[in-house]
Amino acid sequence: MTRERSLTTGRPRLSGRDRNALVAVSLTAVSLTASGCVVVHGEREVLPTATRAEAAKAVQQFTAAYNEADAAYDGSLDAEYTTGALGAIDAARLKAGRVNHPDGNPQHTPLALTDVRYTIPKKAGWPRWFVADAQANKGGDARWVLVFTRNAPADRWQAAYLTLVAPGALPEFSKDKDGWAEAVPAGSAGAVRAPKNLSADYAAYLRTGGGTFADGAYTSELRSTRAKNSSKPGLATQYVDEPLTGGDFAPLALRTADGGTLVFFSTHHYVKQTAAAGASVPAPNQNVRALTTGEITRSLTMEFVANEMAVAPAKGSGDGKVSVLSRLEGLTAAKGE
């Protein structure tokens, strides 16, 4: 997949291939019965989004490609296996690594995922997607939670979201007698907030606060940290937060056992540091410098993409606030002025 980034638009842009992949494609499965052939259309019938064997193969292929790309600091080696927020973050990470280490990653340690658990929903239409959470040899005790998507039968599975959570932090999911989970439509009104609204809700909360989200590391504490950093002697820091919901950045959600909704969503952020007269912007680290265009004289604007995982409780339950369980953010571009 070709990924384009633009500081002028401020948003990651999808290539023509990506846009075309968003067109719904009819999936036809043929099953033999005593009376002949019955055609089942995936855009209408509620079916598991993947077999367990397909999900396991997708995780294995992603891990292999991720390791090759990380070892070589070459984004072309896993570009076909990532998309959405994870794709944007990973592409920028590998680009910076290649600038600083053109011969490859001197600290490469192969990623190993063990105790992989699959949550595969039943749904109609596209995209198809599933969740895999696993223990990894990176990130301490935290479990890696990956969401894999594809937009058509001929497409390969791609990892669109990656978050890390403490063991036991994932909620229990609603499943049928066969073990398939329940996908929640983006516009569903069953929880206190619909999945399609959470990206904009979160961006607005970071700007102005409010009562939508429960206090925590990624909400009240993050706002407090920003407030402390916004004005320091000789340096002002501004924050701009935007929703990110188009194409492969669209939210994906599962029904939890208690009737709530676990939502994966993306957001887009800018952080601008401006030095006062006679002062200077703090020297950025080598990874920021590798992604910076222009000369840093009075200001540095850094662009980030983040993916979040949050639980929206069912209407009328608990305190009615959304809890952000995890957040992974990555620098995707920077500009000096």
Q: pLDDT value at position 43? A: 61
Are 134 and 116 a contacting pair, CB within 8 Å? yes
Cα(78)–Cα(94) distance, integer angstroms: 10
How many distinct structural domains can be found in the chain? Answer: 1
List phi, psi (to 5°) of 214: -70, 150
Of the candidates 188, 189, 272, 268, the residue with the CA atom closest to the CA atom of residue 226: 272
Q: pLDDT value at position 318? A: 82
Q: pLDDT value at position 31? A: 29
Q: pLDDT value at position 53? A: 97
Cis peptide, bond prior to residue 233, ω within 30 of zero: no
What pLDDT digit, counting tens, does each position of 120-149 carry?
999 999 999 999 999 999 989 999 999 999
Facing residues of 293 across strands?
335
Q: pLDDT value at position 26? A: 30
- Domain holding 75, by residue range, is 3-336
This prediction has a pTM of: 0.86
Question: Going by C-beta distance under 8 Å and a sequence separation of 6 or more, which residues neighbour residue 155?
Answer: 21
Q: Can you give the pLDDT of all 337 residues of the chain as single tens digits? A: 434 333 333 334 444 444 343 333 333 232 222 333 333 444 678 999 999 999 999 999 999 999 999 999 999 999 999 999 999 999 999 999 999 999 999 999 999 999 999 999 999 999 999 999 999 999 899 999 999 999 999 999 999 999 999 999 999 999 999 999 999 999 998 899 999 999 999 999 999 999 999 999 999 999 999 999 999 999 999 999 999 999 999 999 999 999 999 999 999 999 999 999 999 999 999 999 999 999 999 999 999 999 999 999 999 888 899 999 999 999 999 999 9
